[in-house]
Amino acid sequence: MEQKLDLDNIDPVVLYGVNEQRLEKIRQNFPKLKLIARGHEIKILGETEEVKRFSESIELIKAHFAKYNSLSDNELESILHKDVQKASLYAGGGDAIVYSVTGVPIRPRSQNQVQMVKELERNDLLFATGPAGTGKTYLAVALAVRALKTGMVRRIILCRPAVEAGEKIGFLPGDMKEKLDPYMQALYDALNDMIPQRRLEDMIEERIVQIAPLAFMRGRTLSDAAVILDEAQNATISQLKMFLTRMGENSKFIVTGDETQIDLPRKSDSGLVHALHILKGIKEISFVAFSGDDVVRHKLVKKIISAYETPIHNS
């Protein structure tokens, strides 16, 4: 029997190892098979039962890598011996939301981040507000990636107001993607931390992951999706109403923003400020307010935020 297997999101170097040392270990576990590895594809030749057993092992490896974004020698050895639970222990399973592409667990890093995770489990709509550096957007993307990986949703949709509240992007050079990319970069950065680049490109191509300006949400019903609106303070009242009413069945909506960073001509037009005021009484909606104490960037960021929040007294 002959069969070909695609490694999907696994970097061949990770699976095969330096000088194909790991591939040799795999061959030793399947001595009756002939394995021909070429890039992201492995050709298998041998008896049907052995080919099936090998295919099952590769599927376990792919599933492990999809969850943890890592594959150590110990993890590989455990998976080859069908001890998946032991492999997950080696990977450091626990309270991690997801794992970075380097295998580092991404966990809540402040009390309000912990609260944000809990609130999204409790309700389908969450507002996370507060200053820069508190990890609101990054954690929101991590929660969306986890929902996709665990099968809770079928797609991720990330959006934000582009350029200005009026979405006037036509004057910029390039095609639509080139016009928009600079304004979506924070979202791309977070995704690139959590999903291997080749796999992310495929997911964007297949529209499993969609990144678009807020104006592109008009007229859509967003079902079976984890949906994030970032920089919501720069959405107008009508835009935010439009976004929130896109909510469909089996969806999780996260709205993030900083009320102190409104770039609209009139701050009173901010849809985020308006929504926080009129929606507070709805118990099915969660609100988490971050502060300078939650800053998880460089230690100086917390001091900078504090300095900007301190009134200046002229002598």
- pLDDT above 70 covers a percentage of the chain that reads 86
- Quick: pLDDT tens for 68-104: 777 777 778 878 777 655 555 544 555 788 888 888 8
pLDDT band at 170 (very low <50, low <70, confident <90, very high): low
**59 vs 165, residue with greater confidence:** 59
Query: To the nearest whole number, what is the mean pLDDT of the chain?
Result: 84
β-bridge partners, 256:
128
Whether the Cβ atoms of residue 59 and residue 8 lie closer than 8 Å to each other: no
> Which of 63-72, 107-116, 177-186 has the highest average model confidence (pLDDT)?
107-116
- pLDDT above 90 covers a percentage of the chain that reads 35
The Cα–Cα gap between 243 and 229 comes to: 8
- C-alpha dist (Å) from residue 52 to 12, 33, 39, 214: 21, 11, 21, 47
The whole-number pLDDT of residue 161 equals 86
Whether the Cβ atoms of residue 213 and residue 162 lie closer than 8 Å to each other: yes
The whole-number pLDDT of residue 119 equals 95
The whole-number pLDDT of residue 139 equals 94
Which residue, 239, 66, 84, is CA-closest to 165? 239
Rounded average pLDDT over 174-184:
64
pLDDT band at 127 (very low <50, low <70, confident <90, very high): very high
Rounded average pLDDT over 130-158:
92
- C-alpha dist (Å) from residue 124 to 210, 250, 259: 19, 8, 22
pLDDT band at 158 (very low <50, low <70, confident <90, very high): very high
Q: Is 156 exposed, middle or buried (0-12, 13-18, 19+ CB in 10 A)?
A: buried
The whole-number pLDDT of residue 243 equals 95
pTM equals 0.70
The whole-number pLDDT of residue 310 equals 76
The whole-number pLDDT of residue 84 equals 57
Cα 87–Cα 88–Cα 90 angle in degrees, nearest 5: 65
Number of H helices, E strands in the chain: 12, 11
β-bridge partners, 209:
156
User: Could you tell me how many residues make up the chain?
Assistant: 315
The Cα–Cα gap between 224 and 210 comes to: 13
Which residue, 76, 49, 47, 81, is CA-closest to 64? 76
> Which of 111-120, 224-233, 262-271 has the highest average model confidence (pLDDT)?
224-233
Please provide the DSSP assignment of 208-257 as one string.
SEEEEEGGGGTT--B-SEEEEE-SGGGSBHHHHHHHHTTB-TT-EEEEEE
Token pair, residue 283, equals 């118990």
290 has pLDDT over 70: yes
Q: Is 125 exposed, middle or buried (0-12, 13-18, 19+ CB in 10 A)?
A: buried
- Quick: pLDDT tens for 220-266: 999 999 999 999 999 999 999 999 999 999 999 999 999 988 988 88
